[in-house]
Amino acid sequence: MVLSVDEQHRIGAAINTVEERTSGEIVCVLARASSDYLSYATAWSALLALMVPWLLVGLSDLSVRQILLAQIILFTLLFVITSATRLRFWLVPRRIRRAQAHRAAMEQFMIRGMARKHNRAGILIFVSLAEHYARIVADDGIAEKVEQEVWQGAIDALLSEVKEGRIADGFIVAVETCGAVLAEHFPPGGPKDDLPDRIYVI
C-alpha cells in the first residue's frame, strides 16, 4: 500500500484542521501512475519484433515458419516484460509522461467537484509517483489572487518529503501551506460546499 490507513487519516485530519479557518476547499489525490502506458509497451515490442526477421534472414538458415515463430515469441516476451515492470515508464519520453500527469491532474480537479464551488476557491494537490510529478491546481477565485511562486513553494516542500519516502508528511506540509493561503483570502463564513476531508489514492 502506498499510504497506510493511519497516514491517510493524518492527511484527512490536516485538511479538516485548515478548512476550519477558510471557506475554501482542499482535495488531495495520490496516483500510482497517470497512465498504464501499455500502448508504448506494445509499440516498442512490435518494433523490435519486426526487426527480427531482417536479422535472422541474413544470419541464419531458419525457415520462414521458424522466423515468424521467433518473431511472435519475441513480441510476447517483450510485451510481458515491459508491461509488467517499471520498464514501460522509461520507454515513454519524459515530455509525454509529464503531459499525461498534467492531464490526469486536470481530470481529477473536475472529477472531485472542485470546479463547482460557488466561490471558486478550491485547491487540488496532486501527486503522480510514476512520473515524479506534483501539481497544485487552484480554481480561478484563488488563483487570480496568489502568485505562482506561492504554489511552487508548496510543491517544492511536498516533493522534498516525497523523495525521502515521507509521502504523508509531504501532503500535510502542502495542505498547511495552501490552507494558510486560503485562510488569508477566503476566511470562513457564508455557504460552504463541503467535500470529503481525505486523500484519494488512485
- Tens digits of residue pLDDT in 83-116: 887 788 888 999 999 999 999 999 999 999 887 7
Residue 141 CA to residue 93 CA, distance in Å, equals 34
pLDDT at 192: 61
CB 173, CB 157: distance < 8 Å: yes
Q: Where does CATH 3.10.310.50 sit in the chain?
A: 5-35+93-201
pLDDT at 91: 85
pLDDT at 1: 63
Three-state DSSP at 24 gives coil
Residue 165 CA to residue 29 CA, distance in Å, equals 17
All cell numbers assigned to 166: 515521507
Fold of 5-35+93-201: Diaminopimelate Epimerase; Chain A, domain 1 (3.10.310)
3-state class percentages of the chain: helix first, strand second, coil last, to nearest 5 = 60, 10, 30
| 135 strand-pairing partners | 126
pLDDT at 31: 96
Q: Which residues contact 121 (CB under 8 A, 6 or more apart)?
A: 22, 23, 24, 25, 139, 141, 142, 182, 185, 186
CA-wise closest residue to 170 among 5, 1, 10: 10
Distance (Å) of CA 125 to CA 36, 74, 158, 200: 21, 42, 10, 10
Full DSSP string of 84-146: HSTHHHHTS-HHHHHHHHHHHHHHHHHHTTGGG-TT--EEEEEEETTTTEEEEEE-HHHHTTS
Positions in the chain whose pLDDT score sits under 50: none
Is the pTM of the predicted complex or chain greater than 0.75?
yes
All cell numbers assigned to 115: 470546479
Backbone torsions φ then ψ of 128, nearest 5 degrees: -120, 115
pLDDT at 157: 94
Residue in the block written with cell 508548496: 154
